[in-house]
Structure 1
Amino acid sequence: MRRRAFLGLGGWLAAAVLTTATGTWAVSLIGTDITGQVVRSMTLEEVERALITTSAGPAVAPPASAGPYAETGNFSYAEGSVTAACDAGQALLLSWSPAPGYGVDEVERGPAAAVSVVFESDDRKTAISLTCPSGKPAATVRSVTEHDED
């Protein structure tokens, strides 16, 4: 009887050790993706750095052609680029893309007499306004200060 109890206890301990080892191994795999690379969460600083250094695509796909618009214009600046169209005296912002290190703060797409996009970096905000004074898109660029936003 004693021998049977000893073998039962030994079998139970062996199963417990094997289960613990298997569980520990499985938990260690959680930090690894299917390719074997270690996966970890990014810190807020790493996310911000990645967003600043990644070039964003246009917020709206640029037109394949001028389409129904009378005139279109493309404008590129250090802060980003925009494509606008004019039709019947109204401006329409077709696409916008911030330069690396910039994001988009505000967009007034139109159609309207004037449309705009504000590109923003950590230390700078720049507004690009577009109008159609002679039926063709014309751009005006200005730095935005805290006073301008009030």
Structure 2
Amino acid sequence: MDRRSLLAVTGWLATTAAATLVGLAAVDLVGADIGGTVGGVRTEQDVARALAASVPASTGAGGPTATPTGAGGPTVAPTTAGPSTPGAARRGFVTAGGSVEAECGPAGVRVVTWSPAPGYRTKDDDRGPDDHVEIRFVGASDEHELRLRCRDGVPVRDLDD
């Protein structure tokens, strides 16, 4: 290889290395904001704590508390059904098929948000407002249905099915 070719290859390698280092430094300077999720990614435990903190626990036979148990908790961003009613009582419900947040208002119970668990989808949903609402999460081998109604102005699981 002659001297001219050797200088060309060396110059190309030096330019490539410098461009790579400048690119890495720029990404490091920008930080996680360049590809991160707005608000960060939440673990199942973070979601459980957030639901438990924002929703009153169940009293009596009204239904489950807001804390999910075991695997299959919500990990997908919730879908929103519409604007919230001011002053309405809200409550979260979790099944292996997904999670639902509902509220009671003057027109009855209404699903505010819902989030299927991984491997599940929503089918035949009745979001209200009405005397009762239903959300069905369907997976490959099973399904989980939540039927909710209002009791004393608070959403509860309807166990009368």
Partner residue in 2 for 1:93: 111
CA distance in 1, matches of 2:110, 2:89: 10
Cα 1:88–1:61 change in 2 (3 A) is closer
After superposing on structure 2, the runs of 4+ consecutive aligned residues of structure 1 that deviate more than 3 Å are: none
Partner residue in 2 for 1:76: 94
CA distance in 2, matches of 1:140, 1:124: 20
| Superposed displacement of residue 114, structure 1 | 0.3
| Superposed displacement of residue 62, structure 1 | 8.4
Counterpart AA for 1:129: R
CA contact (8 A) 2:107 2:129 kept: no
Consecutive unaligned residues in structure 1, runs of 5 or more = 1-54, 143-150
Cα 1:110–1:60 change in 2 (3 A) is same
- 2:157 aligned with 1:112, yes or no? no
Identity among equivalent positions (%) equals: 33
TM-score, scaled to structure 1: 0.50
- Of residues 129, 132, 136, the one that matches 2:147 is 129
CA contact (8 A) 1:62 1:83 kept: no
In terms of Rg, which structure is larger? 1
TM-score, scaled to structure 2: 0.47
CA contact (8 A) 1:127 1:141 kept: no
1:2-61 per-residue CA deviation (whole Å, 9 max, x = no partner) reads: xxxxxxxxxxxxxxxxxxxxxxxxxxxxxxxxxxxxxxxxxxxxxxxxxxxxx5321217
CA contact (8 A) 1:126 1:141 kept: no
